[in-house]
């Protein structure tokens, strides 16, 4: 079988798994701004217990056995020429390189200015940023978390659990957070928040200051579009879902009105031969859920099928978000199904089964110690 060159643009959660799946049958080149997997998952654990989080979600590429046959390039993507079948990469020293492909997988994700950034960083710089955010929150007697998504809820719950002496308040628009999850999920998570002492404030939509830097943990008063008096805290965490797609390097002809990559159900990009997209950057459905539904296996199959002229499979998104909301806790891990029912893994099983076997071996194909 002829081996083709596949370029995977972005080696976050979705891109990394796709590259691993493709490496057995093709010559794969992965492009990333980081020297390892820097996951966008489990913000609450990342902020409150950065060492625990880094063990599972900040992993150098050389530790992944599945990447042994993948060439990785660290740099920023600056352009794509679909006619010439090349992407352009600017390395940390400023030099630019054109990388050719037979098929291209776009997996560059989203940017939110805080924990998802497009900057080229060294291992030391990433580690410093993790530690700095943790220390900033550790020094605060009161923390205000803004937002109604999983990142906000997880942050509030984990901060309160790790520092029970802090005042932690969660402000969210609407009647409840986790609007994209089943109501059973919110009911279970709400009990956890209340038991941890988190104060819940419904119906609060923050007014974003002009030119605001979402990468900052602030201490300025927060004003509300919904009319309540301003609120203050020693540290304000803005997790309001203000993400933008990391697509500045792509032609506008393949983007929707919000800047996400248009795809058809088999994850191909229209008007771009041999180009696919996956993860938060791909406009698969309103939730852009291919990042959380293990579409990497389907996409790897479709790339090979496209080369061979065989039928491609269609991605079918879940109607609701599912999975872990709070991340691994000292007493174990709760995973919620799309129906809102939860599955509980006790702490011993997370350590001895889930982490090494289900995740390390089963999902990633082996991670070196």
d(CA 288, CA 295): 11
Under CATH, to which class is 5-121+243-363 assigned?
alpha beta
Quote the tokens at residue 60.
Answer: 């150098």
pLDDT of residue 114 exceeding 80, the answer is no
Query: What DSSP element (H or E) covers 195?
Result: helix 183-195
pLDDT reported for residue 202 = 97
pLDDT of residue 368 exceeding 90, the answer is yes
Torsion of CA 359, 351, 197, 224, to 10 degrees: -20
The residue with tokens 């300025």 is: 220
pLDDT of residue 113 exceeding 80, the answer is no
Over residues 298-324, mean pLDDT: 93
φ and ψ at 271, to 5 degrees?
A: 65, 20
Structural contact between residues 147 and 43, judged by C-beta atoms closer than 8 angstroms: no
d(CA 307, CA 164): 56
pLDDT reported for residue 215 = 74
Per-residue b or e along 344-365, where b marks 16 or more CB atoms closer than 10 Å to that residue's CB: ebeeeebeeebbeeeebeeebb
The residue with tokens 């209340």 is: 194
Which residues lie closer than 8 Å to 15 by C-beta, 6 or more apart? 8, 9, 30, 32, 105, 107, 108, 109, 278, 279
166 vs 3, higher pLDDT: 166
pLDDT of residue 171 exceeding 60, the answer is yes
Stretch(es) of the chain classified as CATH 3.50.50.60: 5-121+243-363, 135-238
Nearest to 166 by CA among 77, 233, 238, 250: 233
Structural contact between residues 61 and 11, judged by C-beta atoms closer than 8 angstroms: yes
From the centroid of its chain, how far is CA 320?
Answer: 17
Q: What is the pLDDT of residues 189-231, one digit of tens each?
A: 999 999 999 999 999 999 998 878 777 899 999 999 999 999 9
Over residues 355-361, mean pLDDT: 93
Q: Give whichever of 214-223, 262-271, 284-293 has the largest mean pLDDT.
A: 262-271
Structural contact between residues 264 and 91, judged by C-beta atoms closer than 8 angstroms: no
pTM exceeding the 0.85 threshold for the entire prediction: yes
What's the pLDDT band for 179 if we cut at 50, 70, 90?
Answer: very high
- 199 forms bridges with which residues in the sheet? 169
φ and ψ at 85, to 5 degrees?
A: 60, 55
pLDDT reported for residue 1 = 57
Which residues lie closer than 8 Å to 37 by C-beta, 6 or more apart? 11, 12, 13, 16, 57, 58, 59, 61, 64
Fold of the 135-238 domain: FAD/NAD(P)-binding domain (3.50.50)
């Amino acid at each position: 079988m002829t081996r083709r060159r596949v370029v995977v643009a972005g080696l976050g959660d979705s891109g990394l798994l796709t590259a691993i799946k493709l490496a057995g049958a093709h010559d794969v080149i992965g492009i990333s701004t980081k020297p390892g997997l820097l996951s966008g998952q489990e913000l609450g654990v990342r902020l409150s217990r950065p060492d625990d989080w880094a063990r599972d979600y900040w992993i150098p590429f050389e530790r992944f056995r599945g990447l042994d046959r993948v060439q990785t390039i660290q740099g920023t993507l600056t352009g794509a020429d679909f006619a010439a079948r090349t992407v352009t990469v600017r390395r940390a020293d400023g030099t630019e390189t054109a990388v050719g492909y037979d098929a291209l997988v776009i997996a560059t994700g989203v940017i939110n200015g805080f924990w998802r950034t497009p900057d080229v960083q060294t291992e030391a710089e990433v580690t410093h940023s993790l530690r700095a955010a943790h220390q900033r929150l550790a020094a605060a007697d009161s923390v205000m978390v803004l937002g109604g998504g999983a990142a906000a809820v997880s942050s509030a719950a984990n901060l309160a659990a790790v520092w029970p002496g802090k005042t932690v308040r969660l402000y969210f628009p609407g009647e409840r957070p986790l609007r994209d999850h089943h109501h059973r999920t919110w009911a279970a998570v709400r009990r956890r928040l209340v038991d941890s002492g988190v104060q819940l404030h419904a119906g609060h939509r923050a007014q974003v200051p002009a030119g605001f830097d979402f990468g900052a943990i602030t201490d300025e008063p927060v004003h509300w579009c919904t009319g309540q008096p301003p609120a203050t805290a020693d540290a304000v965490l803005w997790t309001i879902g203000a993400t933008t797609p990391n697509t500045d390097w792509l032609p506008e002809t393949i983007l929707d009105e919000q800047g996400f990559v248009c795809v058809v159900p088999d994850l191909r990009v229209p008007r771009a031969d041999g180009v696919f997209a996956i993860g938060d950057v791909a406009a698969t459905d309103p939730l852009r859920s291919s990042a959380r539904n293990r579409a990497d296996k389907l996409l790897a199959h479709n790339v090979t099928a496209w080369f061979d002229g065989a039928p491609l499979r269609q991605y079918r998104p879940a109607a609701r978000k599912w999975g872990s909301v709070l991340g691994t806790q000292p007493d174990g891990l709760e995973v919620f199904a799309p129906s809102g029912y939860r599955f509980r893994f006790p702490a011993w099983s997370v350590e001895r089964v889930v982490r090494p076997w289900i995740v390390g071996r089963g999902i990633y194909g082996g991670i070196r110690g």
